[in-house]
Amino acid sequence: MTVNELLTVDGFEAVTVPDGDREMNGCYIGDLLSWVMGRAKADNAWITIMSNINIVAVASLADVACIILAEGVEVDSSVRETAEAKDVNILSTKLPAYETAVLLNKVIL
């Protein structure tokens, strides 16, 4: 499933999607950035409640397909601009992280 295809699923909204054709393969949930860098796999959807600029760097280093901001978390314009510049997809959902992962499991697999 691509990031653009995920955006057609109820509950997900685009924050910034410079690479919507990026394929997703599984997901990783985590908020400790150093932990995510070492454990998220390439092409995962990364679910987090973190919203600072460092999420863009971590997503880029880990080569995740997208960041999904759970629980209605929002980012400021500098995060959106940096994500666009670095081709990092960011989506949002009002769902808790666990429910987001369960939904992803249903639609990705």
| Overall average pLDDT of the 88-96 stretch | 98
Give me the pLDDT at residue 109, please.
64
DSSP result, 36-54: HHHHPPTTPEEEE---STH
| Overall average pLDDT of the 74-100 stretch | 98
Contact, 4 vs 21, CB < 8 A? yes
Interaxial angle between packed helices 54-62 and 77-85, expressed in degrees from 0 to 180 and rounded to the nearest 10: 30
pLDDT tens-digit map of 1-38? 999 999 999 999 999 999 999 999 999 999 999 999 99
Quick one: which of 96, 103, 43 has its CA closest to 71?
Answer: 96
Domains of the chain and CATH, by start:
3-108 (3.40.1390.20)
Average pLDDT, the chain: 97
Give me the pLDDT at residue 78, please.
97
Quickly state the pLDDT bin for 69 (edges 50, 70, 90): very high
| Overall average pLDDT of the 84-104 stretch | 97
Which residues touch 26 (CB under 8 Å, ≥6 apart)?
A: 41, 43, 44, 45, 108
